[in-house]
Structure 1
Amino acid sequence: MNQYEYRVEDIQIQLKANTNFSEVMTDKLNALGREGWELSGVNGMVFYFKREVT
């Protein structure tokens, strides 16, 4: 049976003038993905991630 560890991120992004929210958010989510975290749920600005424990 696979085992997982979980991570909860309350992602608050403060944007400066001429900053694209989608681009900043994509960069943050991709950084977590490179660490092996898989998005498993969202509730407002709270993001739930999981990754398999090896």
Structure 2
Amino acid sequence: MKQFEYRVEDIQFQLKANNDFSAVMEEKLNFLGKDGWELAGVNGTVFYFKKEVK
């Protein structure tokens, strides 16, 4: 049976006038994804991630 560990991130950031929301979010999500975290759900600014325990 697979087992998972979970991570909760309240992702809030202030965008400067020259920042693109999509690019900033993509960078943050890719950073977590490279460490094996998979996005499992979103509720407002709270993002839920899971990673299989090996």
Unaligned runs of 5+ in 1: none
Aligned CA RMSD, in angstroms, stands at 0.5
Q: How far 1:2 moved relative to its partner?
A: 0.4
Percent identity over the alignment is 72
**Which amino acid in structure 2 is aligned with residue 53 of structure 1?**
V
Aligned counterpart, 2:21: 21
Aligned counterpart, 2:41: 41
Q: TM-score, normalising length from structure 1?
A: 0.96
| Residue correspondences, number | 54
Secondary structure of 1:9 counterpart: strand
Partners of 1:26 and 1:13 in 2: how far apart? 13
Q: TM-score, normalising length from structure 2?
A: 0.96
Q: Deviations over 1:6-48 (max 9, x none)?
A: 0000001111121101100000000000000000000001000
Partners of 1:39 and 1:48 in 2: how far apart? 6
Partners of 1:18 and 1:27 in 2: how far apart? 15
